[in-house]
Amino acid sequence: MAKKFDLLVFDWDGTLLDSTSGIVAAVQAACRDLGLSEPSYSHASQVIGLGLGDALRHSAPDLPEEKFDLMQARFRFHYLSRDNELKLFDGVFDLIAELHACGFMLAVATGKSRLGLNRALIHSGLGRYFPASRCADECFSKPHPQMLHELMEEFAVSPERVLMIGDTTYDLQMALNAGVNAVAVSYGAHSAETLDALHPLARLNSPDELTQWLRKHA
């Protein structure tokens, strides 16, 4: 069957890497370090997908601006102290390897920093499959479409041949803003109800469902 899409763009945290709980814990710990009210798990998870600066400002709206750099430093300390324990979701490595073997162009668009994504690509072993990626410290944060626009230009692919795969409303809104199709996964940070409200092509509830959908529809 002919491919419907040429370029598949994946979010990282909560889509490929099972990192939602680790990110939430680091946000909460950073808030405690600075004597701020600790956000609930639900509130902290809603900011996953944004660039770190935007995420922390949403998580800690009472944070004085002069303490913002310290907040970022404490988040990084807590997250990086345990990021080597984070694992890909079951089946994700095989899925990416299969898509690569089938001739799809693959890329990552993430709220992580360039340093953080590079660490994750090396640790996960997926770096060989992603020749291009965009991070929040080199582009506007999601849901701005810059990441997707730049990836489409780099691969010389038109919007209708691009599929965005992500676990947050920021991923889906970015796709809408860029004029590309998207599918949602509900096993990451945002709930199925909030994802469905943005009308993705499909909402998949496990990596296995994602694999089966991509085999049939991509």
Extended strands (E) in the chain: 7-10, 105-109, 132-134, 162-166, 181-185, 203-204
Region class of 131: left (phi > 0), else alpha (psi between -120 and 50), else beta: alpha
Active-site position among 6, 11, 83, 167: 11
- Cβ atoms of residues 27 and 44 within 8 Å: yes
Active-site position among 13, 18, 83, 171: 13
User: In this structure, what token pair is assigned to residue 43?
Assistant: 């509130």
| Burial grade of 132 (CB within 10 A; 0-12, 13-18, 19 or more) | middle
- The two most distant CA atoms of the chain are separated, in Å, by 57
* Residue type, position 18, single letter: D
Phi–psi pair at 56, nearest 5 degrees: -70, -35
54 is catalytic: no
11 is catalytic: yes
- DSSP for 127-170 reads GGG-SEEE-TTTSPPTTSTHHHHHHHHHHT--GGGEEEEESSHH
User: In this structure, what token pair is assigned to residue 52?
Assistant: 């770190």
What are the residue numbers of the active site? Answer: 11, 13
